Amino acid sequence: MTTATTYELVLRGRPSGRLLRPLLDDFTVEHSPQGVTRLVGPVLDACHLHGVLAHLTSVGVELVSLGPVVRPDAALPATTPGATA
């Protein structure tokens, strides 16, 4: 069983709910005053990610950025109890 990775997709403008409808079950949508829309949600694997991107391309939505969401605690190095630096 694979674990989904949470991704953030930033889109230019404010695409309508009709264009984003296939993604609304999986992603949260936030519109910013800066004129971008942010989608955040789980991506199961590369095929799923390519499917999301293919949908956005097919409806003419411009992708500004795409990347996995890094949790702050995941960026910390693992430490061994009693170890000193």
Q: Is the pLDDT of residue 83 over 60?
A: no
Q: Which residues face 30 on adjacent strands?
A: 38
The pLDDT assigned to 74 comes to 56
- Residue 59: both structure tokens together: 């409806």
Q: What is the set of domains in the chain, with CATH numbers?
A: 5-69 (3.30.70.100)
Name the pLDDT band for 68 (thresholds 50, 70, 90): very high
pLDDT tens, 9-20? Answer: 999 999 998 999
Nearest alpha-carbon partner for 16 in 43, 54, 56, 67: 56
Average pLDDT over residues 1-25: 90
pLDDT tens, 26-58? Answer: 999 999 999 999 999 999 999 999 999 999 999
